Amino acid sequence: MLFCVSANFRHNPLIRMSSPTTSTRFILGIDLGTTSVKAVLLEAKSGTVAASYSRQTEADIQSDVEPRGKEQDVERIVNTLDKCVAALPRHLLQRVGRIGIAGQMHGVMFWKSGQGCCWLEHEGNHIFQPRDVSHLITWEDGRCSSEFLASLPCPQSHLSLATGFGCATIFWYLKHRPEFLNSFDVSGTIQDYVVAMLCDLKRPLMSIQNAASWGYYNTESQSWNMDSLKKSDFPVHLLPEVVKSGRLAGKTSCEWNGVPEGTEVGAALGDMQCSVYSCMIEETDAVMNISTSLQLSYATSTSFTPPSTSDPSSPVAYFPYFDGKYLAVAASLNGGNVLSTFVTMLKHWIQELGLEVCDSTVYDQMIQSALNKGNTELLIQPTLLGERHAPNQLASVSNISVSNLSLGHVIRALCQGIIQNLHCMLPCQHLIKSGVKRIMGSGSALSRNEVLKQEFERLYTLPVAYGKNVDSAVGAAMVMLCDW
């Protein structure tokens, strides 16, 4: 069972410097994100973070085959990973007993079995360099149009298929560049690749979490949709073997940046699941994170079964979590980015009047103005970016009167709208019926905006705890603590 960390761990802060003894063991947690890589060392006994380091990958490259493509250079990602791990204290790396790895979901890359890298020495460290690998086609990839997706076989899954999903991308190559696929015989996410290279796996292992993010994987039968894929001439030999999330994939085949040879490595996990796991102290907690976008999630009971078919119009999606549970997620595209857009608009208006003011001043002043307005009758629907379940939805303002045109009224209404939009997607009563007893609030937008906190607590009447921010690298390490 994965909710198995000690009481001491649960009540210690996740990120702090510790003073380990010479016998202390550590878990190395890694997050291979869309724009950055983060590595942390988690002290196994206390569950505290002894050291951490993150770095931007700067791996984005222009796709040479599709203008809507989003691709990244795998070598730059791996080089960034090496730098992050090497930046951690070497004497602590030498006491690492397990490695947990999470990363950006949905994306796909290709390589040749047993030939995906070469090991070499660099500045006293053993590192691996990618060899004969493709670019990483990321989750942001837009090459699969709605028309193309509609032409594909219907997935036998409760999760909808979308552009940027691994299997959809492979279908695109099968139709437009089949010769490209002939150059490789295995595929996986970027985190699956790293695990395969560290453990010298001839074929990658993929956790259920990552498999579900590719499409055409049935989480109930725990199998790929082989029949329908084969009928469509899909190259099923590229699909990885799928294992349970939280399972070990193997051991490091040699010393790596100070981490000993023979260190156990977990099968790669999804960054979303690990970020929630890092913040969810009790099984009855929900996690709400407001940064650029906004997510509210909770773990279902073990008896929960997702719908048998996908429903693109549903605002709540169910992703495989741990121990046979699912993570119910309401993921709004409209969070802190809406407030940032409003700040930019105000700043431009002020500049048109011949004045200059910095973003932070605008933001702080507009929040203070809203705090002075306890309530407002102004209504703002803040869906500037639409939603995945309602992509054509736009923003709107209504109930305007002479008395509610002040900046305070507008910002109060904007924050109300952001939370109200989330509440429509996943109401508080639904959480209560699902057994949620507390909400863990996190995220940069939430931490600096007291108005958002007030509006969230007004609609969500459950106790709310702040202060624990989500961290996929920490979550990946925490998973590896179990049964150790």
**pLDDT one digit per residue (tens) for the chain, 484 residues:** 454 443 333 333 333 344 555 567 999 999 999 999 999 999 999 999 999 999 999 999 988 788 889 999 999 999 999 999 999 999 999 999 999 999 999 999 999 998 899 998 877 788 999 999 999 999 999 999 989 999 999 999 999 999 999 999 999 999 999 999 999 999 999 999 999 999 999 999 999 999 999 999 999 999 999 999 999 999 999 999 999 999 999 999 999 999 999 999 999 999 999 999 999 999 999 999 998 889 999 999 999 999 888 888 899 999 999 999 999 999 998 999 999 999 999 999 999 999 999 988 999 999 999 998 888 999 999 999 899 888 889 999 999 999 999 999 999 999 999 999 999 999 999 999 999 999 999 988 888 899 999 999 999 999 999 988 889 999 999 999 987 7
pLDDT for position 2: 53
| Per-residue burial over 127-148, b = 16 or more CB atoms within 10 Å of its CB, e = otherwise | bbbbeebbbbbbbbbebbeeee
pLDDT for position 5: 40
Q: Give the fold, CATH level 3, of 283-467.
A: Nucleotidyltransferase; domain 5 (3.30.420)
The torsion defined by the Cα of 147, 152, 158 and 162, in degrees rounded to 10, comes to -40
Integer CA distances (angstroms), 232 to 97, 154, 229, 272, in order? 44, 11, 5, 31
In the chain, which residues fall in CATH 3.30.420.40?
A: 7-274+472-481, 283-467
CA 329 to chain centre: 12
- DSSP letter, residue 300: P
CB 229 within 8 A of CB 242: no
pLDDT for position 22: 53
Q: Label residue 132 left, alpha or beta by phi (over 0 means left) and psi (-120 to 50 means alpha).
A: left
Using the structure block, give the residue that is written with the tokens 């007993």.
Answer: 97
Largest CA distance in the chain: 71
- Using alpha carbons, select from 169, 194, 190 the residue that is nearest to residue 180: 169
**Residue 351 CB contacts under 8 Å (≥ 6 apart), including other chains:** none
Give dist(CA 295, CA 324) in Å, integer. 21
CB 45 within 8 A of CB 97: no
pLDDT for position 125: 81
pLDDT for position 13: 33
Answer whether 0.75 is exceeded by the pTM: yes
Helix, strand, coil share of the chain (percent; to 5): 30, 25, 45
Yes or no: domain 7-274+472-481 corresponds to CATH 3.40.50.970: no
Using the structure block, give the residue that is written with the tokens 């590192």.
Answer: 127
CB 280 within 8 A of CB 437: no
